[in-house]
């Protein structure tokens, strides 16, 4: 890469408000060029270099497919055999979260047709998430695209069963070591703490480091742009594969967009270009955004990693700048672009407030209604509130209130915002206003008022439950985990680290809300002996998810051991400070 291109990449990172960026470019006969830009942590200004590790998110899936195809080559796995034949009834029921006989006959027959090819090319007909609701097939396998990370998690279980090895060990043996990917791994190690990029939200605020305790075949890869480029180079060259396996690997299978000529192969997106097919994938896991595209016939490609919500805003520009290709597989409308009017307005709002920008907002509604309509303004307000920027988020909601003075929905959003900000007086004011408006607003779900009313009541008049009862409820329920700290119940949706724990507020004996938000609640189901058997997640009034209490409670024991270790370290630090 020339100094001019490096300078342009650095400028893109800067204008895109991306704290940390890592780029690797593959060129035939030139090898791999890589460089880090910006910071692992915006506040600490710790620089990103070529060895800094990022969460790759969905860029994990192509590596899982590579592993599976290696097992196909070795005769361990059959790509076209029903995956149900690889699992016992007990294993399958543990995966879907309930007995098979709860699935109707037609869906059972469809499920029996699912094979590995269907799962990796997103045409298995299964939902995106499995295990927390009653399993249903969306359609017969092989009919159409049904994007689902859950398919890779099912292959994860099958690969471990067939080989007798953990997924992270298989990745190391089949991928990392042979390809010399020295800065890649599938689960967290404490030694990574100094070399990991930290996620940042839309406004550059650092988020907690996520420490994956268990490998996830769809999303847990930690890697560098250079290591990932080594993997792409191996795929483009067909390294380690038979010709038959390579042809199976990159063959277009599932049509996504006929006009744009976008397909799914096995975990890779395919876009048909005049110069030949390009293979691509994007990663989007909260605040980590990544992307690659590579052209096997040209041995040309780019992969980049970011630690920012804004990471995809430069995708199109960066790809064109470095390899002169487009990114048709990535819908630019799905992500704010680095030079977007929305981004410019948000920055002005942060710097000067809504009062100074109110005339500009009204003008933008007229001149750019697609970007500044009611829906998009609510979306911007949501992201301000998610970043704990309550003044900006609430000011945007209030601008909508002025535009729609009879909307119960907007008043309800203001009630939630003030509750989270801790202003109970304003929350009560808008709850009352929501109730009044809901009498005439027939589009508003009035049951939501009961949720906020019950939550406010529980905050003002706490329900005190005996600690021994809370200890009975504590435990691992699927991925969910509950523990007791002091006199309170704490919860993590997908436990990876003690920082994930959230305090819960009792709404009744069996139902709890998160202290940070009342719309998601947990309801415990007890058997006739009073023992908890199931935790039901109540998501507003829209849907429910359930997880059965695990027979194995190792996750709870591990969590409690970590809590004890943390508590001990805090006490030791306090004693040292007193001694000084």
**What are 53-87's pLDDT values in tens digits?**
999 999 999 999 999 999 999 999 999 999 999 99
Pairing mode of beta strands 20-27, 254-257: unpaired
| pLDDT above 50 (res 170) | yes
Question: What is the phi/psi pair of residue 258, to 5°?
Answer: -65, -40
Q: How confident is the model at residue 354 (pLDDT cuts 50, 70, 90)?
A: confident
For 562, the enclosing helix (H) or strand (E) is: helix 554-579
pLDDT of residue 167: 97
Percent of the chain with pLDDT strictly greater than 90 = 69
Q: How many CA atoms are closer than 13 Å to the CA of 494, on its beta-carbon side?
A: 10
Q: Please report, for residues 251, 474, 492, 515, 535, the alpha-carbon distance to residue 482 in angstroms, rounded to integers and kept in the order given.
A: 45, 5, 7, 14, 10
Q: What is the C-alpha to C-alpha distance for residues 66 and 241, in angstroms, rounded to an integer?
A: 9
Helix/strand number for the chain, H first, E second: 18, 19
Residue 293 contacts residue 312 (beta carbons within 8 Å): no
Beta strands in 448-578 (DSSP E): 475-477, 480-485, 488-492, 502-506, 511-514, 517-526, 532-539, 543-548
For 279, the enclosing helix (H) or strand (E) is: strand 276-285
pLDDT of residue 98: 81
Instruction: Answer left, alpha or beta for residue 103, where phi above 0 means left and psi between -120 and 50 means alpha.
Output: beta
Q: What is the pLDDT of residues 252-266, one digit of tens each?
A: 999 999 999 999 999
pLDDT of residue 140: 95
pLDDT of residue 567: 60
Q: What is the C-alpha to C-alpha distance for residues 292 and 272, in angstroms, rounded to an integer?
A: 15
Beta partners for 282? Answer: 291
Torsion 40-46-48-51 (CA) sign: negative
Residue 296 contacts residue 247 (beta carbons within 8 Å): no
Q: Please report, for residues 35, 320, 354, the alpha-carbon distance to residue 32 in angstroms, rounded to integers and kept in the order given.
A: 10, 17, 47
| pLDDT above 70 (res 572) | no
Q: What is the pLDDT of residues 500-523, one digit of tens each?
A: 789 999 999 999 999 988 889 999
pLDDT of residue 125: 95
Q: What is the C-alpha to C-alpha distance for residues 361 and 374, in angstroms, rounded to an integer?
A: 12
442, two tokens:
């027939």
Residue 206 DSSP one-character state: B
579, two tokens:
């001694």
pLDDT of residue 580: 47
| pLDDT above 70 (res 30) | yes
Q: What is the C-alpha to C-alpha distance for residues 565 and 575, in angstroms, rounded to an integer?
A: 15
Q: What is the C-alpha to C-alpha distance for residues 153 and 169, in angstroms, rounded to an integer?
A: 16
3-state helix, strand, coil in the chain (%, to 5): 45, 20, 35
Q: How confident is the model at residue 347 (pLDDT cuts 50, 70, 90)?
A: confident
Question: What is the phi/psi pair of residue 280, to 5°?
Answer: -150, 165
List own/partner pairs for 259-266 with CB under 8 A and 24 or more apart: 260/328, 260/329, 261/328, 262/328, 262/329, 264/121, 264/122, 264/123, 264/145, 265/121, 266/65, 266/68, 266/69, 266/117, 266/120, 266/121
Q: Tokens 């689960």 — which residue?
A: 187
Q: How confident is the model at residue 565 (pLDDT cuts 50, 70, 90)?
A: low
Largest CA distance in the chain: 72
Q: How confident is the model at residue 547 (pLDDT cuts 50, 70, 90)?
A: confident
What is the chain's Cα-based Rg? 25
Q: How confident is the model at residue 573 (pLDDT cuts 50, 70, 90)?
A: very low
Mean pLDDT value of segment 334-362: 87
SS3 label, residue 132: coil
483, two tokens:
């523990």
CA 403 to centroid of chain Cα atoms: 34
Question: What's the whole-number average pLDDT of the chain?
Answer: 90
Mean pLDDT value of segment 180-208: 94
pLDDT of residue 578: 39
Q: What is the pLDDT of residues 451-474, one digit of tens each?
A: 999 999 999 999 999 999 999 999
- Give the contacts of 471 (CB within 8 A, at least 6 positions apart): 484
Residue 177 contacts residue 247 (beta carbons within 8 Å): no
Mean pLDDT value of segment 414-443: 93
Lowest mean pLDDT among 12-26, 39-53, 183-197, 333-347: 333-347
Q: What is the pLDDT of residues 103-156, one digit of tens each?
A: 888 889 999 999 999 999 999 999 998 877 788 899 999 999 999 999 999 999
Question: What is the phi/psi pair of residue 504, to 5°?
Answer: -115, 150
| pLDDT above 90 (res 489) | yes
Instruction: Answer left, alpha or beta for residue 486, where phi above 0 means left and psi between -120 and 50 means alpha.
Output: left
Q: How many CA atoms are closer than 13 Å to the CA of 25, on its beta-carbon side?
A: 19
Q: What is the C-alpha to C-alpha distance for residues 83 and 68, in angstroms, rounded to an integer?
A: 13
| pLDDT above 90 (res 575) | no
pLDDT of residue 350: 87
Residue 303 contacts residue 24 (beta carbons within 8 Å): yes
Mean pLDDT value of segment 200-208: 91
List own/partner pairs for 460-464 with CB under 8 A and 24 or more apart: 460/424, 462/505, 462/506, 463/506, 463/507, 463/508, 463/509
Instruction: Answer left, alpha or beta for residue 353, where phi above 0 means left and psi between -120 and 50 means alpha.
Output: left
Q: What is the C-alpha to C-alpha distance for residues 382 and 102, in angstroms, rounded to an integer?
A: 38
Q: What is the pLDDT of residues 270-307, one digit of tens each?
A: 999 888 899 999 999 889 999 999 999 999 999 999 99
Q: What is the C-alpha to C-alpha distance for residues 114 and 174, in angstroms, rounded to an integer?
A: 25
pLDDT of residue 571: 43
Kindly tell me the burial class for residue 446, based on how many C-beta atoms sit within 10 Å of its own C-beta (0-12, 13-18, 19 or more). Answer: middle
SS3 label, residue 525: strand
pLDDT of residue 337: 84
pLDDT of residue 155: 97
Residue spans of alpha helices (H) in 23-149: 60-73, 89-96, 105-111, 116-120
Q: How confident is the model at residue 443 (pLDDT cuts 50, 70, 90)?
A: confident
From 286, 326, 280, 322, select the one nearest 306 (Cα to Cα).
286
From 73, 60, 140, 124, select the one nearest 253 (Cα to Cα).
124
Q: Please report, for residues 72, 295, 472, 482, the alpha-carbon distance to residue 68 in angstroms, rounded to integers and kept in the order given.
A: 6, 22, 41, 34
Q: Tokens 């089949």 — which residue?
A: 174
């Amino acid at each position: 890469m020339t100094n001019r291109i490096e300078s342009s990449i650095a400028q893109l990172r800067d204008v895109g408000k991306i704290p940390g960026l890592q780029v690797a470019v593959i060129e035939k006969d030139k090898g791999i060029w890589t460089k880090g830009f910006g910071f692992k942590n915006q506040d600490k200004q710790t620089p990103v270099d070529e060895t800094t590790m990022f969460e790759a998110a969905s860029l994990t899936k192509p590596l899982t497919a590579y592993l599976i195809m290696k097992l196909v080559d070795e005769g361990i796995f059959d790509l076209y055999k029903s995956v149900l034949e690889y699992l016992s009834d007990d294993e399958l029921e543990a995966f879907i979260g309930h007995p098979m006989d709860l699935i109707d006959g037609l869906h059972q027959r469809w499920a029996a047709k699912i094979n590995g090819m269907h799962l990796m090319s997103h045409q298995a007909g299964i939902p995106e998430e499995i295990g927390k609701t009653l399993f249903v097939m969306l359609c017969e396998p092989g009919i159409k695209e049904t994007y689902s990370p859950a398919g890779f998690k099912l292959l994860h279980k099958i690969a471990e069963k067939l080989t007798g090895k953990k997924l992270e060990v298989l990745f190391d043996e089949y991928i990392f070591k042979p390809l010399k990917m020295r800065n890649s791994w599938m689960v967290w190690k404490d030694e990574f703490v100094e070399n990991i990029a930290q996620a940042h939200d839309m406004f550059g605020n650092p988020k907690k480091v996520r420490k994956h305790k268990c490998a996830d075949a769809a999303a847990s890869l930690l890697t560098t742009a250079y290591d990932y480029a080594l993997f792409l180079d191996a795929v483009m060259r067909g390294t380690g594969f038979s010709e038959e396996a390579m042809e199976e690997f990159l063959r277009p299978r599932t049509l996504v967009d006929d006009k744009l000529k976008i397909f799914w192969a096995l975990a890779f997106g395919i876009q048909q270009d005049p110069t030949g097919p390009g293979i691509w994938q994007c990663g989007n896991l909260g605040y980590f955004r990544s992307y690659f595209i590579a052209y096997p016939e040209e041995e040309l490609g780019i992969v980049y990693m970011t630690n920012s919500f804004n990471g995809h805003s430069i995708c199109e520009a960066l790809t064109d700048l470095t390899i002169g290709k487009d990114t048709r597989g990535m819908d630019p409308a799905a992500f704010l672009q680095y030079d977007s009017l929305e981004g410019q307005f948000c920055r002005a709002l942060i710097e000067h407030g809504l009062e100074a920008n109110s005339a500009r907002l009204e003008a933008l509604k007229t001149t750019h209604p697609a970007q500044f309509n009611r829906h998009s303004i609510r979306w911007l307000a949501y992201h301000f509130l998610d970043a704990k920027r309550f003044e900006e988020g609430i000011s945007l909601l209030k601008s909508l209130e002025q535009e729609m003075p009879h909307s119960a929905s907007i008043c309800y959003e203001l009630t939630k915002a003030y509750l989270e900000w801790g202003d109970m007086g304003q929350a009560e004011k808008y709850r009352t206003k929501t109730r009044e408006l809901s009498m005439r607003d027939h589009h508003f779900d009035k049951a939501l008022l009961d949720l906020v009313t019950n939550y406010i009541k529980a905050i003002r008049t706490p329900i005190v439950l005996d600690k021994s009862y809370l200890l009975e409820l504590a435990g691992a329920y699927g991925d969910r985990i509950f523990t007791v700290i002091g006199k309170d119940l704490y919860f993590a949706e997908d436990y990876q680290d003690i920082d994930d724990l959230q305090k819960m507020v009792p709404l009744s004996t069996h139902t709890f809300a998160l202290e940070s938000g009342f719309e998601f609640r947990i309801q415990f189901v007890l058997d006739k002996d009073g023992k908890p058997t199931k935790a039901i997640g109540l998501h507003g009034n829209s849907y429910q998810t359930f997880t059965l209490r695990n027979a194995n409670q190792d996750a709870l024991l591990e969590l409690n051991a970590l809590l004890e270790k943390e508590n001990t370290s805090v006490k030791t630090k306090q004693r040292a400070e007193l001694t000084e």
